[in-house]
């Protein structure tokens, strides 16, 4: 092979190789690239990161506190405790007197106290539970002592002691407690409960006064 033919052959192979390389480069340029993930996507300065992608965050939004209710005031809690204790004492005293009262009207009054105060306490306990107010059980020691005393008495003596401890004075104190809550309580449900209960308490007070006057006239209160 002469020099001219050899040179031509080399140039031909070089040209073929260059064409092939250019084809490969063109194919690489046309290969589609995968889309950028949200975490890699550019973000405008000052904009908030996507939900769940910020530092220390997860895929769930933080819990809302809008539904959380405020804690009950000390006055509301005190009312619930006092009203429940008074109601329990009145109801239990009524149950005790149902079998001990000598006067039929006193016995009827005792039944009324048992029913009305039991119903009121059931409503109060439901509201207290809904509002997260702790409701201690039991009653005041003085009331417990008076009920224990009733259990040792019968007839006219029991009637007199019952009205003395759970009649006029007790209901005057309870009405004052409920009227104060109805006018200045912070929890609407407790204000309404107090306002709804006051009329029944006034009925109890009037009945107690009438019975005390009757027994006094008959000489049964001494």
CB-CB contact of 93 with 165 (8 Å): yes
What SS3 string covers 142-186? HHHHHHHHHCCCCHHHHHHHHHHHHCHHHHHHHHHHHHHHHHHCC
Q: Model-level pTM?
A: 0.67
By CB atoms closer than 10 A (0-12, 13-18, 19+), residue 51 is exposed
- Dist CA 15 CA 98 (whole Å): 122
Q: Report the Cα–Cα distance between both ends of the chain, in Å, rounded.
A: 154
Q: Does domain 74-217 have CATH number 1.20.1260.10?
A: yes
What are the residue boundaries of the structural domains of the chain, listed by start?
A: 74-217
pLDDT by 10s per residue, the chain, length 222: 454 445 445 455 555 544 444 454 444 455 455 455 444 545 545 454 444 434 444 444 444 333 345 678 999 999 999 999 999 999 999 999 998 999 999 999 999 999 999 999 999 999 999 999 988 889 999 999 999 999 999 999 999 999 999 999 999 999 999 999 999 999 999 999 999 999 999 999 999 999 999 999 887 444
- How confident is the model at residue 135, as a pLDDT? 87
């Amino acid at each position: 092979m002469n020099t001219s033919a050899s040179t031509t052959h080399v140039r031909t192979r070089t040209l073929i190789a260059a064409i092939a390389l250019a084809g490969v480069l063109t194919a690489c340029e046309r290969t589609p690239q995968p889309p950028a993930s949200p975490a890699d996507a550019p973000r405008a300065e000052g904009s908030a990161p996507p939900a769940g992608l910020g530092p220390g965050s997860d895929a769930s939004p933080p819990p809302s506190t809008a539904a959380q209710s405020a804690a009950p005031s000390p006055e509301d809690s005190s009312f619930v405790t006092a009203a429940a204790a008074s109601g329990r004492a009145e109801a239990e005293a009524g149950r005790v007197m149902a079998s001990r009262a000598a006067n039929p009207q006193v016995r009827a009054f005792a039944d009324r106290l048992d029913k009305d105060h039991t119903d009121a306490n059931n409503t109060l306990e439901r509201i207290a539970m809904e509002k997260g107010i702790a409701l201690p059980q039991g009653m005041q020691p003085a009331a417990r002592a008076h009920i224990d005393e009733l259990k040792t008495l019968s007839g006219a003596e029991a009637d007199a002691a019952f009205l003395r401890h759970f009649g006029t004075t007790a209901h005057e104190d309870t009405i004052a407690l409920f009227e104060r809550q109805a006018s200045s309580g912070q929890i609407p449900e407790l204000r309404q409960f107090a306002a709804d209960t006051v009329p029944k308490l006034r009925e109890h007070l009037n009945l107690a006064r009438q019975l005390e006057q009757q027994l006094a006239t008959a000489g049964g209160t001494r």
